[in-house]
A and B are shown apart, each in its own frame.
Chain A
Amino acid sequence: MRIFNSTVGRKLLMSISGQLLIIFVLIHLAGNSTIYFGWINAYAEHLHSMPPVVWVFRAIMLAIVGTHICYGVLLTLENKAANPTNYAVKRQLKASFASENMIWTGLLLAAFIVYHLLQFTAKMTPDVAWTSNQAVVDVFKMVVTSFSNAGIVVVYALAMVMLFLHLSHGIPSFLQTMGWNNDKTIPVYGTAGKVISAFLMLAYISIPATILVGLLKL
């Protein structure tokens, strides 16, 4: 199959999986924001009242993340192989820290996702150990308790900085890979990528930060 083997085809798979991940990031943010309205327990209960839906959704997410990581690693290795020798002097004109470190910001995000799932989904990290003897886990209490720990909040904040870097290149990049670009839109997308990813970073960080400073409490 052309799409799986060719250089442009694989980039399309990266782009489409990346777009689906962005949609997930947006929906997840909307879901998390229910904490400000006191609805997070109702939201969590609602989600878990339909186990088959939850498992199908998890399988799809795993396939998307798997595709994105596999091709991300493969493309990066091929790119290093295509440019094996460095210049003694190199002046970068346009490439940015964000665009050159997609693989690292991406892999750090993957590590964060594993930690995040172990914590709030599998409830295996020490900060949530207390939930093991609860019949029904109070999600609001769990989140507020964990985010009262400054160390945990710092980890989340750093992960969101990675998300900012990954998407500040990822957003303009996926638009270009899809071919939805021309001379007028190129600079607009560059700015939009930074603005949207900064918004996502700040919006996500706002929840643990609000809890840590005590504005949102049990």
Chain B
Amino acid sequence: MSAHTSNTMTITLHVWRQAGPNAPGKLEQYEAKNVSPDQSFLEMLDEVNEDLIKAGKDPIAFDHDCREGICGMCSSVINGVPHGGQVRTTACQLHMRTFKDGDAIYIEPWRAKAFPIIKDLIVDRNALERITQAGGYTSCHTGGVPDGNAILVPKPDADYAMDAAECIGCGACVAACPNGSAMLYTSAKVAQLAVLPQGKAEAAERVCAMVDAMQENGFGNCSNHYECQAACPKGISVKFIAKLNREYQKALFK
């Protein structure tokens, strides 16, 4: 501990505070003192919250769960970039050593029409679930466990599907997109299933249903800015958006 106290930092936070969905919100300033470089970003927020609670104030509400970069719950725009802008890193995996003593950090919620604010930094991301409910599945009869390798999947296709399946559904792509579009998320689900034999049967219905659901849930259109891929903590590639576009064209002629 003593080794660390010498290089602890003081950081000024500007945090979006909003009491409820329709309440007006604004940026509030807080001082985070004795921040250790080894702390994660969320641990730093935990300590700020403890001080707020001790002072009888409302702690900052933020989403989190696994804190190991796999669940997709954490969600803050940190200094203008969803998850803070460290390549392939979720906010929970971001460490305070990437900041310097005296830094100012702006923390804001995901912003998009499809993601209404619930409180402070917490937004409602069910719109993403509704896109997946519209077609991000394969219909199959359950029964006995099929033999392994009964359906052959070429290795490159399996790898491609796994790359798409890395999406953790955090919504950073939507938060980063100047158009509030969910094309990266949607395309990852469409591509993952379209390339596998089990998913091919429903490929055309799926892409149409998921694209419609994206539109109905208030997401914007894709302008190919590629801001999503740059912000995605899983490095999901926009090549999947190209794949969605190809799948969509095939579906148009069905």
Contacts and interface: CB of A to CB of B under 8 A. Distances in A.
Interface of A: 2-3, 6-12, 75, 78-79, 81-96, 99-100, 102, 169, 172-173, 176-183, 186
Contact of A89 (B79, B215, B226): B79
Contact of A183 (B77, B211, B220, B239): B239
A90 B108 CA distance: 10
Contacts of A11: 221-222, 245
B242 A82 contact: no
A177 to B, nearest CB: 6
B238 A176 contact: yes
Interface of B: 14, 16, 27, 77, 79-81, 85, 106, 108, 111-114, 176-181, 208, 211-212, 214-215, 218-227, 229-231, 237-239, 241-246, 248-249, 252
A172 B180 CA distance: 21
Contacts of A93: 81, 85, 176, 227, 230-231
28 contacts: A2-B252, A3-B252, A6-B248, A7-B220, A7-B222, A8-B211, A8-B244, A8-B248, A9-B252, A11-B222, A79-B180, A79-B220, A79-B223, A82-B180, A82-B181, A83-B112, A83-B220, A87-B80, A88-B106, A89-B80, A89-B106, A90-B80, A94-B225, A100-B225, A177-B245, A179-B245, A183-B239, A186-B237
Contacts of A84: 113
A92 B228 CA distance: 11
A78 B178 CA distance: 11
Most chain A beta-carbon contacts within 10 A, residue among B106, B111, B225: B225
Q: Which 4 A-B pairs have the closest CB atoms?
A: A82-B220, A179-B246, A91-B80, A93-B230
A75 B183 CA distance: 14
B178 A100 contact: yes
A182 B245 CA distance: 12
Given A12-B249, A82-B113, A95-B226, A186 B238 contact: yes
A136 B89 CA distance: 69
A6 B247 CA distance: 14
B215 A7 contact: yes
A94 B243 CA distance: 20
Contacts of B230: 93-94
B239 A186 contact: yes
Contacts, number: 137
A6 B226 CA distance: 20
A183 to B, nearest CB: 5
Nearest to B104: A89
A78 B220 contact: yes
B221 A79 contact: yes
Contacts of A90: 80
Nearest to B106: A89
A54 B176 CA distance: 46
B220 to A, nearest CB: 3
A197 to B, nearest CB: 15
B221 A95 contact: no
A83 B80 contact: no
Contacts of B239: 181-183, 186
Given A78-B220, A89-B79, A89-B80, A83 B113 contact: yes
A183 B191 CA distance: 14
Most chain B beta-carbon contacts within 10 A, residue among A7, A9, A11, A178: A7
Contacts of B231: 93
B179 A79 contact: yes
A79 B237 contact: no
A7 B208 CA distance: 10
B121 to A, nearest CB: 13
A87 B224 contact: no
A30 B2 CA distance: 75
Contacts of B16: 88
